[in-house]
Amino acid sequence: MNISDKLRLLFHNTESICVLTGAGISAESGVETFRGSNGLWSKLKPEELADFNAFMRNPELVWEWYNYRKKIIHNVKPNPAHFALAHLQELVKDFTLITQNIDNLHIRAGSKNVLELHGNIERSYCIDCGKFVADVEVSLENKVPHCQFCNGIIRPDIVWFGEMLPEGVFEAATEAANQCELFLTIGTSAVVYPAASLPLIARENGAYVVEINMERTEISHSVNETLLGKAGEILPQLVKMKEEIKG
């Protein structure tokens, strides 16, 4: 793997890593990304689906879309990139994993204390009383789930455009980006804010910022190093390097 001596040395010594992942890390599991050529957003308009007003206008359509994505996610598995990050967490003293993904694959791969900036498709809640509901069933007979306590409409626990990120999660992510020595931004086009500001915050704090992606992105000019390639191939090699050092 072609990495700089600086990154090799830093990876050798650091005990402080912060990671931000996007849809690209789940691509090799078979989960479509958003903005790639045949990505999710190429067929559907995010503002018509990942938006609260769109949901209130047509909860059936939005639930149909999330149910479709849930079915895909239930039929895929974490890939070597997810497992590599779960393993890296055990090799490094201070490790924070921040994800924009809602697919739950980092947790299924064994990562702990994942900061989920945009929520999680496995959780839903009632928009009236706020009660959380796991495993909502959406079917032809029950196209929009309702709350068993107050009969309010239940929505996916996912952050839509124009919505605030979950209380405290972005603050914890910013703190980690501010403190880390090495920041990895993996499989994200870095167009969605405030998530995309995290690598820039890390850079300002003096961290060494490395982008792992199939192509250059909006923030490639702001990072220290870009490793072009598949996360599922690059990450296991990086973690193997760390493992050999740890002995």
**Positions in the binding site for ligand BV8 (CB under 6 A):** 22-24, 27-28, 33-36, 39, 50, 100-102, 118, 158-164, 187-189, 191-194, 212-215, 217, 230-232
Q: Sheet containing 225-228: which strands, arranged edge to edge?
A: 115-116, 94-99, 16-21, 182-186, 208-213, 225-228
Residues 6+ apart with CB under 8 A from 176: 18, 96, 98, 115
The tokens of 95 are what? 């490790």
Query: What are the residues binding Zn ion (CB under 5 A)?
Result: 126, 128-129, 147, 149-150, 152
The tokens of 244 are what? 């050999």
Residue 118 binds what, of Zn ion, ligand BV8, none (CB under 5 to 8 Å, by partner type)? ligand BV8
Residue 128 binds what, of Zn ion, ligand BV8, none (CB under 5 to 8 Å, by partner type)? Zn ion
Q: Sheet containing 132-134: which strands, arranged edge to edge?
A: 132-134, 119-126, 154-158
What whole-number distance in Å separates Cα of residue 25 and Cα of residue 78? 9
Q: How far is the CB of 94 from ligand BV8 (least distance, A)?
A: 24
Q: How far is the CB of 13 from ligand BV8 (least distance, A)?
A: 25
Helix (H, G, I), strand (E, B) or coil at 90: helix
Of 86 and 192, nearer to ligand BV8 (C-beta) is 192
Q: How far is the CB of 207 from ligand BV8 (least distance, A)?
A: 20
DSSP structure class, residue 23: G
Of 9 and 150, nearer to Zn ion (C-beta) is 150
Q: Which amino acid is at 210?
A: V
Closest CA to 69 of 19, 106, 20, 105: 105
Alpha carbons within 13 A on the beta-carbon side of 7: 19
Of 126 and 198, nearer to Zn ion (C-beta) is 126
The tokens of 2 are what? 């072609």
Q: How far is the CB of 151 from Zn ion (least distance, A)?
A: 7
Residue nearest to ligand BV8 (CB): 24
| Residue of 74, 106, 118, 146 marked catalytic | 118
Closest CA to 158 of 113, 101, 199, 118: 118
Residue 146 a catalytic site member:
no
Residue 31 binds what, of Zn ion, ligand BV8, none (CB under 5 to 8 Å, by partner type)? none
Residue 126 binds what, of Zn ion, ligand BV8, none (CB under 5 to 8 Å, by partner type)? Zn ion
Of 167 and 193, nearer to ligand BV8 (C-beta) is 193
Catalytic residues: 118
